[in-house]
Amino acid sequence: MNELVGKPVDRVDGRLKVTGTANYSAEYYPKNVAYGVIVESTIAKGRIKNIDITTAGKAPGVINIMTYKNSMNLHFPQSSDPGGGKYAEKDLLPLQNDRIFYGGQAIAVVIAETFEQAEQAAMLVTADYEKDKPVFDLEKNVEKAYKPVAGLGGSQIQMTRGNTEAALQNASVKLEETYTTPVYHHNAMEPHATTAEWNGDQLMIYDATQSVMGSKNLMAAMLGVEPEKVRLVALFIGGGFGSKGFSWPNTVLTAMAAKLVNRPVKLVLKRQQMFTNAGRRTQTIQKISLGTDNTGKLNAIKHATTSESSFVDEFVEPAGVATAMLYSCANADINHSLVRLNKGTPCPTRAPGEAPGTYAIEAAMDELAYKLNMDPIQLRLVNYNEKDEQKNQQFSSKNLKECYQRGADAIGWAQRNPKPGSIREGNYLVGYGMATATYPANRSASTAKAVLFPDGHAEILCGTQDIGTGTYTIMTQVAADALGLPIEKVKVKLGDSSYPKGANSGGSQVSASVGPAIRAAALGAKSKLVKMAIADAGSPLHGQKEETIIADNGQLHLINQPDKGETYSAILNRHGLDKIEVLATTNVSTRQQQEANPAAKTGAEAQAAQESKSNPAVQEDEHTDRKPYSFHSFGAQFVKLRVDAQLGTVHIDKIVSVMDVGKVMNLKTAKNQIMGGAIFGIGMALMEETAYDPNDGRVVTRDLAQYLVPVHADMPEFDIQFIDKPDTIISPIGARGIGEIGITGITAAIVNAIYHATGKRVRNLPVTPDKLL
Amino acid sequence: MEPFKFIRAQDNNNAIAAAAVADAKFIAGGTNIIDLMKLNIEKPHQVVDINALKLDKIETLSNGTIRIGALVKNSDLAYHPNISKNYPVLSEALLSGASAQLRNMASVGGNLLQRTRCPYFYDTSYPCNKREPGSGCSAINGYNRNNAVLGTSDKCIATHPSDMCVAMAALGAIIHVQGAKGMRSIPFADFHLLPGKTPSIETTLKHGELITAVDIPVMSFAVKSHYLKVRDRASYEFALASAAVVLDVQGGRIQHARVALGGVGTKPWRSTVAEKVLTGALNNEQTYRTAAEAALSAAKPYTHNAFKIELAKRTLVRALTTVGGMS
Ligand SMILES: Cc1cc2nc3c(=O)[nH]c(=O)nc-3n(C[C@H](O)[C@H](O)[C@H](O)COP(=O)(O)OP(=O)(O)OC[C@H]3O[C@@H](n4cnc5c(N)ncnc54)[C@H](O)[C@@H]3O)c2cc1C
Ligand code: SF4
């Protein structure tokens, strides 16, 4: 049988999407639905003295206006397991009191018959404030920085080895520079959107989320209802990039509003609100110190990051974490500091930590290479490591040298004149740059169900979600291979909290986490079928050995005798079964915190754990010894660009990304992810930046005309390549996840190429024309 | 958006009558006015749709003047053979603006009246003299990277965002309007106003007056012309600085010159001082530089936009170099 995994299979949901028939969370129209619009605070710190809703209340179509005075009391969610869902601002549940911690904080929700009426009435709500002086400028408040204990989910963010200060003092060559990145906003195409409907004490929510399970649990906890009474669905998500990983006020406010007016309510954030009520990537100030001997061998690395947090929660952008394991170096000091500001809480953004972090360390490595008069690739090879020296663990699989080599060949690295400012073409200066890409390979526990039907088709159910990356497609490939069915006979169902618990879409972990569970469930279902046939006197396979039977194209037959066999349908029909169901849980985690024993759980989770005990695929997977290993993906980014010498505009001609991400599940969706990441990187490097008003600390650039993201005309030629060697340690499917690594390293490769072109080193992103004049 | 009455006008008189009420507004392509209405920046209670009016022709008059109907779409104008061949500066300016979809909707009349992109103008929670006279200017001491350096006042420093208008300023276009009291013609330079003390009054157009056409007078040497736009991304973005240049070079000397700047002025910025430097001077880089210095000599920087002064000079030098080098 031809394996589907690895093939550039078209998206199984492609047709639905291009014909507009894939339903997103704002596209449900329950009977009698009302529309909610959030009203935001226009100060960054203080108290609401008075909120005037009289005019708004009389506006046409208004049903009710929810403020802290008439909203229901919410419960603070207890932070549970890391995959269990996180409310973005633990100390600020929406509309609970009069306090204002940041500009744009929700102060009311207007609920009206139509969206337009709600929108208009929202503009008529006015508030009087007792204003306080906000702190909002990171650079001006660095003296207020403190060192947080841990990062997200208890992850390690303060790390040292050896004696870095002494090593720096003794270094023959030293580099010490500060790199900054501005605030970035995710700006997914689909804004945060929720439709909520109560049915007695049952709550149905359609929510744009990267975690149907987490979001469901949170809603239950905050609203004070049993988790079983809440069902949360997100069949299609129009991108998240981290902003939909945590739960923001919009979801719970929709449920609260629906309760208040006793009708279904739909609430969609306006684009402007995506800049205030849905997270952001924090500004970073990163100080890098590197020390080497005369040959370029690193003996000291220091990466000190200062970033923003809020007064209502703590989020650390772990920019230095990748630096801890990236190169061989005996002495390292990786630390992170936070300054609390009157801004909303930052949150993960595509490659949180690694994206800004690899910019700083890889730009610094480039500077160091020039200082040492060494080729930037050579410097990296001199400091190449085969193990994670911080954790003292071997990498599960690392083929970075091959990435450098292939990337260098594809861009024409060796042919370039390495001298900065040396290549001129008309008005342009041409430059080449490179950088290392890296992202951890994460995996967490997942459960899936496989169901075979007598008509010969199968369904897979898993409570993970496809945030637009292609999860539906890849999982269909995995399941079809395991079940021996053609792709069109397999329907993968995701995005529903009533399904078995799948992983959240964060940390590029879905393929590696959910894939093995789906594979195990599917193999389990096939094996059940095989056993039935063997035991059945009416089957041509009666009495055969399991290992002599293979499944192919909806049939079981003997390996050596393809004509001896029968269809799945025949077996099910003869047994009078309307389906065969198998649950499988793969309780594997590469994170610091292992999932609690799933067998101790209740309901479907417990059943899945029970069934998994006799599932060889699960057993083999769970018994793989992963303790000696550190799991990371790597890659090399190469850029060729032109800079207009007088006007300072940058035109990227070519990007080469060579990625070592384990097994490539689907070449098409994989390229898509790497290209998308690179485009994000172009934005970071050249144009994206959220500006705040220097007087009152509120966001000024609040739409896609003010906040620039790259457009078609900015696109270079892309050459995306994969090493495609399965990582058999992380999982039996061999994939390490691919959603975030594409954005790492690329920003540094671009600024390094700008330096090569012009001889100008810009250390504060984005590199807009004014910085190159 | 406030509720409004929608009227579809059938002819000019019809439209002018309907627009006479105090809070009426015309709508053409709708690419600017609708955004502004959604955000409660413009709040007309009567919207007069003029798209049925017969103002969508591009004609060449007997004296060679090109008359462009106010409803001609930006894309149709840009690709009109007479324009793209004889007035490339206008064609290039139009095509550098917005996106293909927007240009297919945007009209010439609407483009003349498009409003600033100052971020504070767009956010009704901030004071803004242009939006709400007397409330103050949030940009002067606020985030002003994209604001103007020429023609500013202590009441407003908003940039005029149009590209088309910069080319038209250079070409000395004439705007024809029709109102309750009849028709009149306004030279381009007199159409847009500096902010002064009243930044909310942006043009000399009177309330209810309809723009019917724009004339491009004959300028044989405009074949050698160019529009250069510098911005933060390659497309779909307003100018940080732009330059429209027309040069008539004979025997190594510049006989006639037209220069206008965009992205830096509070109105489409025709630079007669630069033109003076250029006219009669040698066609060389030294001249271009002197002209660029002159064009920006009155510029006033604010906290985040000082770079625009140097950038505008370089943009102008580059545009002059391009046109001056055309054979
Ligand atoms: C995302 C985006 C990007 C853009 N980028 C650029 C850019 O890079 N460069 C650029 O130059 N422009 C840009 N624009 C602006 C665009 O050019 C204008 O929106 C367009 O030209 C307006 O024309 P319209 O016909 O749609 O005007 P409308 O929105 O219909 O009207 C605009 C104004 O003109 C008035 N009006 C229209 N016609 C007449 C008439 N005949 N007589 C009297 N009054 C009239 C209306 O009452 C209204 O006040 C951009 C716009 C958008 C939305
Ligand atoms: S510059 Fe003009 S438009 Fe901008 S805030 Fe000031 S007054 Fe308003």
Mean pLDDT of B265-291: 98
Please tell me the class of the A34-133+189-239+244-275 domain: alpha beta
Please count the structural domains in chain B.
2
Closest atom of ligand 1 to B71 CA is: 41
- Give the residue from B91, B75, B68 showing the smallest Cα distance to B31: B75
- Give A119-140 as a DSSP string: HHHHTT-EEEEEE------TGG
A1: pLDDT strictly greater than 70: no
Q: How far is CA A54 from CA A254, A432, A730, B1, in A?
A: 22, 62, 60, 18
Residues in chain B: 327
At residue B101, the 3 state secondary structure works out as: helix
Angle between helical axes of A471-483 and A510-535 (0-180°, round to 10) = 30
Report residue A525 as tokens. Answer: 């279902």
Q: What is the pLDDT of residues A413-460, one digit of tens each?
A: 999 999 999 999 999 999 999 999 999 999 999 999 999 999 999 999
| Environment class of A324 (CB within 10 Å of its CB; exposed 0-12, middle 13-18, buried 19+) | buried
Fold for the domain defined by A442-589+591-622: Aldehyde Oxidoreductase; domain 4 (3.30.365)
B285 interface with A at CB cutoff 8 Å = no
At residue A460, the 3 state secondary structure works out as: strand
Amino acid at A638: F
Nearest 10 degrees: Cα torsion A601, A605, A610, A615: -140
Is B58 part of any domain? no
pLDDT band for A753, please (50, 70, 90 cuts): very high
Query: Which residues of chain B from 237 to 256 reach within 8 Å of chain A, CB to CB?
Result: 237-238, 240
**Within 10 Å of residue A620's Cβ, how many Cβ atoms?**
12
A15: pLDDT strictly greater than 50: yes
Hey, which bits of A87-192 come out as E strands? Answer: 99-100, 106-112, 126-131, 159-161, 173-181
Report d(CA A435, CA B17) in Å as an integer: 65
Domain ranges of chain A: 34-133+189-239+244-275, 141-184+281-441+629-772, 442-589+591-622
Q: What is the pLDDT of residues B175-196, one digit of tens each?
A: 999 999 999 999 999 999 999 9
Secondary structure tally for chain A: helices H, strands E: 17, 30
Closest chain B C-alpha to A697 CA, distance in angstroms: 10
B286 interface with A at CB cutoff 8 Å = no
- Domain of B287, CATH number, reads 3.30.390.50
Contacts of A710 in chain B (CB under 8 A): 233
Secondary-structure breakdown of chain A: helix, strand, coil percentages, each rounded to the nearest 5:
30, 25, 45
- Give the residue from A540, A561, A542 showing the smallest Cα distance to A552: A561
Report d(CA A86, CA A106) in Å as an integer: 19
| Host H or E run for residue B187 | strand B182-187
Is B311 part of any domain? yes
Is B74 part of any domain? no
**Within 10 Å of residue A143's Cβ, how many Cβ atoms?**
6
Residue of chain A whose Cα is closest to the Cα of B311? A647
In the block, which residue shows the tokens 């050698």? B224
A601: pLDDT strictly greater than 90: no
Instruction: Report pLDDT for A2.
Output: 74
Q: DSSP letter at B205?
A: P
Strand partners, B225: B246
Contacts of A60 in chain B (CB under 8 A): 3
Please state which of the four CATH numbers 3.20.20.70, 3.30.420.10, 3.30.365.10, 3.60.20.10 is assigned to the domain occupying A141-184+281-441+629-772. Answer: 3.30.365.10
Phi and psi dihedrals of B249, rounded to 5? -105, 125
Closest atom of ligand 1 to B74 CA is: 21
Instruction: Report pLDDT for A541.
Output: 97
Cross-chain residue pair B120–A700, CB shorter than 8 Å? yes
Instruction: Report pLDDT for A605.
Output: 82
Q: What is the pLDDT of residues B75-93, one digit of tens each?
A: 999 999 999 999 999 999 9
Residues with CB under 6 A from ligand 2: B 116, 118, 120-121, 128-130, 137-139, 147, 156-158, 199
Mean pLDDT score of chain B, rounded to an integer? 98
Amino acid at A697: G
- Domain of B24, CATH number, reads 3.30.43.10
Mean pLDDT of A313-322: 98
Mean pLDDT score of chain A, rounded to an integer? 96
Mean pLDDT of A222-237: 97
Report d(CA A434, CA A405) in Å as an integer: 12
Is B38 part of any domain? yes
Contacts of B238 in chain A (CB under 8 A): 705
Is B30 part of any domain? yes
Q: Which residues of A are known catalytic residues?
A: 740
- Give the residue from A433, A608, A452 showing the smallest Cα distance to A522: A452
pLDDT band for A599, please (50, 70, 90 cuts): very low
B278 Cα distance to chain centroid: 23
Is B91 part of any domain? no
Report residue B172 as tokens. Answer: 């000395």
| Among candidates A42, A646, A773 on the partner chain, residue whose Cβ is nearest the Cβ of B125 | A42
A726: pLDDT strictly greater than 90: yes
B30 lines ligand 1 (CB under 6 A): yes
Cross-chain residue pair A647–B230, CB shorter than 8 Å? yes
According to DSSP, the β-strands at B46-49 and B24-27 are: parallel
pLDDT band for A202, please (50, 70, 90 cuts): very high
Yes or no: say if A362 and A436 are a contact pair by the CB < 8 Å rule. yes
Report d(CA B296, CA A294) in Å as an integer: 50
Q: Report the percentage of chain B scoring pLDDT > 70.
A: 100
B101 interface with A at CB cutoff 8 Å = no
- Give A627-688 as a DSSP string: TTEE-EEEEEEEEEEEEETTT--EEEEEEEEEEE-BS-SBHHHHHHHHHHHHHHHHHHHHT-
For A645, half-sphere exposure in the C-beta direction (CA atoms, 13 angstrom radius) is 15
Instruction: Report pLDDT for A153.
Output: 87
Q: What is the pLDDT of residues A653-674, one digit of tens each?
A: 999 999 999 999 999 999 999 9
Single pTM value for the model: 0.97
Instruction: Report pLDDT for B327.
Output: 81
At residue B51, the 3 state secondary structure works out as: coil
Structural domain harbouring B13: 5-51
B52 lines ligand 1 (CB under 6 A): no
Q: What is the pLDDT of residues A164-190, one digit of tens each?
A: 999 999 999 999 999 999 999 999 999
- Give the residue from B305, B278, B276 showing the smallest Cα distance to B289: B278
Q: Report the percentage of chain B scoring pLDDT > 90.
A: 99
A603: pLDDT strictly greater than 80: no
Q: What is the pLDDT of residues A347-368, one digit of tens each?
A: 999 999 999 999 999 999 999 9
Is B165 part of any domain? no
Amino acid at B206: K
The residues near A196 (Cβ < 8 Å, ≥ 6 apart) are: A203, A204, A205, A206, A251, A254, A255, A257, A258, A264, A265, A266
Is B278 part of any domain? yes
pLDDT band for A83, please (50, 70, 90 cuts): low
∠ Cα B22 B25 B28 (to 5°) = 165
| Among candidates B2, B235, B240 on the partner chain, residue whose Cβ is nearest the Cβ of A120 | B2
